[in-house]
Amino acid sequence: MAGCCAVLAAFLFEYDTPRIVLIRSRKVGLMNRAVQLLILAYVIGWVFVWEKGYQETDSVVSSVTTKAKGVTVTNTSTLGFRVWDVADYVIPAQEENSLFIMTNMIITVNQTQGFCPELPDKTTVCKSDANCVAGSSGTHSNGIATGRCVLFNGTVKTCEVAAWCPVEDDSHVPKPAFLKAAENFTLLVKNNIWYPKFNFSKRNILPNITTTYLKSCTYDAVTDPFCPIFRLGKIVESAGHSFQDMAIEGGIMGIQINWDCNLDRTSSLCLPSYSFRRLDTRDVDHNVSPGYNFRFAKYYSHLTGAEHRTLIKAYGIRFDIIVFGKAGKFDIIPTMINVGSGLALLGVATVLCDVIVFYCMKKRYYYREKKYKYVEDYEQGLGGEMDQ
């Protein structure tokens, strides 16, 4: 109890104030200056020069529109001679910040509602009606089973389904890609950006770009780094992939536009920077369900009035346009905050040197004696003398 009272009294009735002690030591002096120089280098070099700690920053607000161009021709037994333009291979016509280009497909023509044999696999091959369950449908079924076992071809029987007939057979993906010429199609990307905090806006079609130049240029990182028209094959190759391989099964490419702007400089130096990467990473060791595909149908009516459709399983490349960046401009508030933080950090040098001097050096006890001095209450001393 007495010990607790003594600690409480020391806490309540003692006051300590810093005492300056000048230690003449080359080792300690050099260490102190070295730590101070490191802190100054960090504050000036990293905080102010590299990170621009004197600036207020804002994140980019962006809008993107795209337009593809290119024409090719195919000649197949299923479709015959056919010309393909933008309206045929861009699906859908408009998306938000992305564009899908169909490069390959499996087409099933003249489908009608009816009854037909299911594709043969381990769950659909049958020998009699007893092997088929009426009304059943698996995850990968093309229709609803009727319960009958019918001929698929001359040697194989499968369960009959009520479906769009004939059912689609997607077991063999066309190689090379159906629209392999898409490699030479072009994509125009129009990007408008705005920094609301600074009321600054700009677009990637720069003021010095003329209509004549825009009709003839194609993006190149060296010769035409600000041309907003990209050749599809160049985009994929820039990400380290083969366009023809990617066109077979499809995939997702990212077109990254980076706007890092220093608004303390002229606005003409605020320029877009383009980079490309594949977003659906292909892992050779785990190649289950690769690529990108989906189905859509085109419906029409026969002269007899029966509804028909052409089913297309489309493989292709989706281009996602990703815009990011920040802008900075001088502001006194972040400047003063970082200056104050830097001055506070200089105190670290003193703390580090005190730790070494008072706990690590040979003369630590001598230095402690010089650093700390205990003084009794002057008023209590005078009171004692008067009582005598």
Residue positions forming the annotated binding site:
67-69, 186, 293-295, 313
What phi, psi does 10 have (nearest 5°)? -65, -40
| Joined tokens for residue 162 | 């009520």
Q: What letter does residue 129 receive in the DSSP assignment? A: G
Tracing tokens 């409480």 back to the chain, one arrives at 8
C-alpha–C-alpha distance, residues 314 and 263, integer Å: 45
Longest Cα pair distance anywhere in the chain, in angstroms?
Answer: 132
CA within 13 Å, CB half, 75: 1
Distance CA 240, CA 218 (A): 19
Enter the tokens of residue 345: 């950090």
Extract the annotated binding site for ATP.
67-69, 186, 293-295, 313
Rounded CA-CA distance 269/271 in Å is: 6
Six token digits for residue 50? 């590299």
Tokens of 266: 């002229």
- Rounded (to 5) percent helix, strand, coil in the chain: 30, 35, 35
| 3-state SS, residue 384 | helix
DSSP structure string for 38-106? HHHHIIIIIIIIIS-TTEEEEE-EEEEEEEEE--EEEEETTTEEEEE-HHHHBSSS--SSEEEEEEEEE
